[in-house]
Structure 1
Amino acid sequence: MNDLLSIVSEIIKGIYFYKLVNKFVCVKENKFIKFIAFFSMFAISGVIIYNADVVNISYTMLLFFVVMLTCYRGTKIEKISIIMVLYPIVVALNFITKDISVKLYFSSSQTLFMSNLCETITILSCIFWVVIYKIFGDKFKKASSLIDYKTWLLVDLICLAPFISIYATIIFTPSGKEYQAYFIALACIITNLGVIYLIEYIAESIRIKAENRNLKLEYSYYQELLNNQQEVRKLRHDINNHLGVVSAFLENKDLEGAKEYFECLSDKFQVSNRQFCNNSIVNAVINAKYNFALENNIDCFFNISIDKVLPIEDIDLCSIFANTLDNAIEASLKINKPSQRKITVKALLDKGYFSYNITNTIGSKVNFFKGKYISDKEDKKLHGFGIENVSSIVKKYNGIIDINYSETNFEVLIVIKVN
């Protein structure tokens, strides 16, 4: 009965460890690959670690790397980060539990209580991964879509110390003094659990920051509506006076005067908010950028046809429009002749694909370094991240981004499958 309980506990532990990894990155859509991934994660989570055991700890680490790089989707930095975060916990936890279990099993006072205690340790190891999955599983999934390359790199640097420490400690701990490694093993577990919490905290901070940005966009949108309503009220209040003036022009048969007066009214009471799409937040972003461009004598042509609900988060959709339009406006303003300033935007949802194309005229050389756009502003550390942010969003939805430029034009094309 105890042996059966141990086997069930090991199976459950393997399942939840596999599910936890899949919350970070998704396994490839292939039944054979999924089987290999599950079997490998089961073997990794249950690996037996003893002191001075170079073989198990090394080959398990190698297996983890190979499986992550071949069986899972996502960027290499994400896959490496998963290993750096989870592997020290697996090794440290298994080292402590296996060593204690062995010592209890071969103790001189071997009793039923000792046997049950060994089984309890195995079950606790299983419960540990179940709890980690329940607490952090869904948060991991959100974190993988929010955290960028630099943050993952920072996570890896933090985890490098526990990774090396537990590896070296297990290899160089002499036989009979395994207890000396317990403190380092526990420290590695606590440290990497702290890193897991840190990942969740960073992702949550990014999400809150994005939501705050969304609230500002909504406020801007409703402020525009309020201003337009106020203009309409003014027009209604003064309508009789204006009609009287127009009537006087007509009575005097001054058609040119009446026409000119109507044109003045049209310019004065023109509603600035336009309906580019049904998404109020995205519409506010486009309106704000469109109005700013017109105020700066930039010729704009916007053709937006995305009235259906997109499986793209509003935050990400707004970022695509805002970042690319900001870059286009910035580039257009550098052109000395206003007549040469032009921005064309086309967004379309058709046949299961969202396509976005923005083209703008440029007046200076485009600077790229290692595939990244380099701003020509004085403080380059604070600028030039627009294209990089958009690329991250496109990658998040497994889309493609294509950037082309010539001496006179700069073009960004984005295609995302939204089925």
Structure 2
Amino acid sequence: MRGEELQMNWGLFEYVLLNAFSTYTVYILFRTLFIKRRTNYKTEILSYSFYLISITAYMFVKIPAIKIALILLSFFLLTYNYIVFSKKVVISILFIYFILVQIRSNIMIIFGYIDQFIFKINSNYEFVARIITITILLFMSVSLISSCKYMRKGIYISISQWISIVIIPFGSLFIMLSILQGSKINMIYVCIYELILFFINAIVFNIYNSINKEYENKIVQLLLKQQNTYYNHQLEIMKNSVERTRAIKHDIKNHLSVLYVYIQKNQISEALQYIKEICNVNIENNEFASSGNINIDSILNFKIEQAKKLNINVNLELKIPTVLQVSSFDLNVILNNLLDNAINAIDKLKDNREIDLTITYKTNYLFIYISNYFNADMKIKNDKLSTRPQNELIYGIGLNNIKNIVKKYNGTLNINYGSRIFSSEVLLYVS
């Protein structure tokens, strides 16, 4: 009798252990869907502790409506930890609940197949096996969702990482279900195995998550470094322009004196040549874009100068205000990727070495159009020309991130290519 009581106590401990791992899975899901946290860690831990208590009490509640209300209330408290628009809170809670219910339903179907064709679970522990299956496969599903989030940001997920996300949970499930096949099962060992396997799964997930975050931070740092390079280049252009203007202003009297002499002696050709030399002082300042919008001007001046060095002509049409409600980071990603794509494609050509670039702003929207010729023999994959830019890490963000930025501004992205012309159209809605 005492042994049965001990087994029962360990069974209860195991149930709490499984719920703790389920709570960790829900934590991963919430952090995946809601990036920005607004509470401190202490409040966050308390809210997830309440969730753990709620799902542990779930087994003892017999009325289905109360069960659902308890879970939804817990989700509502969890959303308080994150920055969510008030209008979207209810939708977000129902969406998460739907995801978990859908995954759980699919897992139950899988469990029926496993129980019937692969494992012969001890009938006394069939409920335990079902809960273990749901817990582990739910964790695997949420891990896959989390990895997809990084993919949408343009972060490369290696094949080995995808395999690990699937194999390690499946391996853990295989071990646990194998143990539950025996006729004599010691719940103490079951709990110990579960604890070890759950720790392994959590540690592996955190390692890969840290790697992905590090990679994401590295890309952000490179983009910021690149943006600083653009700004420094723009400041250098402005500095040179000011210095040249000061020099001309300082020498204007001398210049006018020389012109006066040329004109007085009727040496018109010499006077015109002298005026041309004065004009060239301003022309050679390499300021191709001068809209007054320093974010766009700095990027374009740097990229156009880069193109000029490769003997690529850029036909620029720029009609934008000095201030736009678009982050400089987003503009950097869009213009940098599109121009890199165009420059690298044209660099393979001997003729038609020019880019048409139009950036215009009209009421509430910003329109970016870029077109260029490309080698007809080049392959186009995923709406990108098969070129290899110098900075592949930054370029690796590519059109995936442009699409995400376009979505952020409720805009559109159109990629068109004919026999030899490749064009991109970006439309962003801004206030």
Shared topology, TM-score over 0.5? Answer: yes
User: In the alignment, which of 51, 54, 57 is matched to residue 7 of structure 1?
Assistant: 54
Equivalent residues in 2 for 1:164-183, closer than 5 Å: 164-174=170-180, 175-176=185-186, 177-181=189-193, 182-183=195-196
Query: 2 CA distance for matches of 1:170 and 1:29?
Result: 39
Corresponding residue number in structure 1 for 2:197: 184
Amino acid at match of 2:398: N
Amino acid at match of 2:54: I
User: In the alignment, which of 319, 339, 343 is matched to residue 329 of structure 1?
Assistant: 343
Indicate conservation of the 8 Å contact 2:151/2:157, yes or no: no
Indicate conservation of the 8 Å contact 1:17/1:42, yes or no: no
Corresponding residue number in structure 2 for 1:367: 379
Corresponding residue number in structure 2 for 1:416: 428
Indicate conservation of the 8 Å contact 1:44/1:64, yes or no: no
Query: 2 CA distance for matches of 1:274 and 1:381?
Result: 23
Corresponding residue number in structure 2 for 1:392: 401
For residues 116-172 of structure 1, what are the alpha-carbon distances to aligned partners after superposition, in whole Å with 9 as ceiling and x for unaligned?
Answer: xxxxxxxxxxxxxxxxxxxxxxxxxxx759842523766434433432233223322
1:353 counterpart = 2:412: no
For residues 67-105 of structure 1, what are the alpha-carbon distances to aligned partners after superposition, in whole Å with 9 as ceiling and x for unaligned?
Answer: x8xxxxxxxxxx7623679xxxxxxxxxxxxxxxxxxxx
Corresponding residue number in structure 1 for 2:258: 245
Task: Give 1:187 shift.
Answer: 2.5
Task: Give 1:262 shift.
Answer: 0.3
For residues 286-309 of structure 1, what are the alpha-carbon distances to aligned partners after superposition, in whole Å with 9 as ceiling and x for unaligned?
Answer: 012223444555443222234275
Label 1:358 to 1:384 Cα distance change in 2 as closer, same or farther (>3 A): farther
Label 1:241 to 1:412 Cα distance change in 2 as closer, same or farther (>3 A): same
Label 1:305 to 1:51 Cα distance change in 2 as closer, same or farther (>3 A): farther
Task: Give 1:252 shift.
Answer: 0.4
Amino acid at match of 2:295: I
Task: Give 1:258 shift.
Answer: 1.1
Query: 1 CA distance for matches of 2:147 and 2:157?
Result: 14
Query: 2 CA distance for matches of 1:4 and 1:268?
Result: 70
CA RMSD of aligned residues (A): 4.6
Task: Give 1:414 shift.
Answer: 2.0
Corresponding residue number in structure 1 for 2:36: none
Equivalent residues in 2 for 1:214-225, closer than 5 Å: 214-225=227-238
Label 1:387 to 1:151 Cα distance change in 2 as closer, same or farther (>3 A): closer
1:82 counterpart = 2:153: no
Task: Give 1:389 shift.
Answer: 0.6
Task: Give 1:269 shift.
Answer: 3.4
Greater Cα shift, 404-413 or 156-165: 156-165
Label 1:63 to 1:418 Cα distance change in 2 as closer, same or farther (>3 A): farther
Equivalent residues in 2 for 1:293-332, closer than 5 Å: 293-294=307-308, 297-307=311-321, 309-332=323-346
Corresponding residue number in structure 1 for 2:298: 284
Label 1:146 to 1:308 Cα distance change in 2 as closer, same or farther (>3 A): farther
User: In the alignment, which of 50, 75, 94 is matched to residue 35 of structure 1?
Assistant: 94
Identity %: 17
Query: 2 CA distance for matches of 1:44 and 1:367?
Result: 39
TM-score normalised per structure 2: 0.63
Indicate conservation of the 8 Å contact 1:298/1:343, yes or no: yes
Label 1:304 to 1:56 Cα distance change in 2 as closer, same or farther (>3 A): farther
Indicate conservation of the 8 Å contact 1:346/1:356, yes or no: yes
Q: Secondary structure at the match of 2:298?
A: helix
Indicate conservation of the 8 Å contact 1:345/1:359, yes or no: yes
Query: 2 CA distance for matches of 1:409 and 1:331?
Result: 10
Task: Give 1:310 shift.
Answer: 4.5
Amino acid at match of 2:418: S
Query: 2 CA distance for matches of 1:39 and 1:307?
Result: 45
Indicate conservation of the 8 Å contact 1:331/1:363, yes or no: yes
Q: Secondary structure at the match of 2:156?
A: helix
1:197 counterpart = 2:210: yes
Corresponding residue number in structure 1 for 2:166: 160
Indicate conservation of the 8 Å contact 1:235/1:269, yes or no: no
Equivalent residues in 2 for 1:61-100, closer than 5 Å: 81-82=144-145
Q: Secondary structure at the match of 2:287?
A: coil
Query: 2 CA distance for matches of 1:150 and 1:21?
Result: 29
Query: 1 CA distance for matches of 2:232 and 2:344?
Result: 24
Corresponding residue number in structure 2 for 1:264: 277
Query: 1 CA distance for matches of 2:337 and 2:56?
Result: 50
Indicate conservation of the 8 Å contact 1:15/1:42, yes or no: no
> Structure 1: which 5+ runs fail to align?
69-78, 86-142
Amino acid at match of 1:234: A
1:343 counterpart = 2:363: no
TM-score normalised per structure 1: 0.64
> Structure 2: which 5+ runs fail to align?
1-49, 58-69, 112-123
Query: 1 CA distance for matches of 2:350 and 2:55?
Result: 74
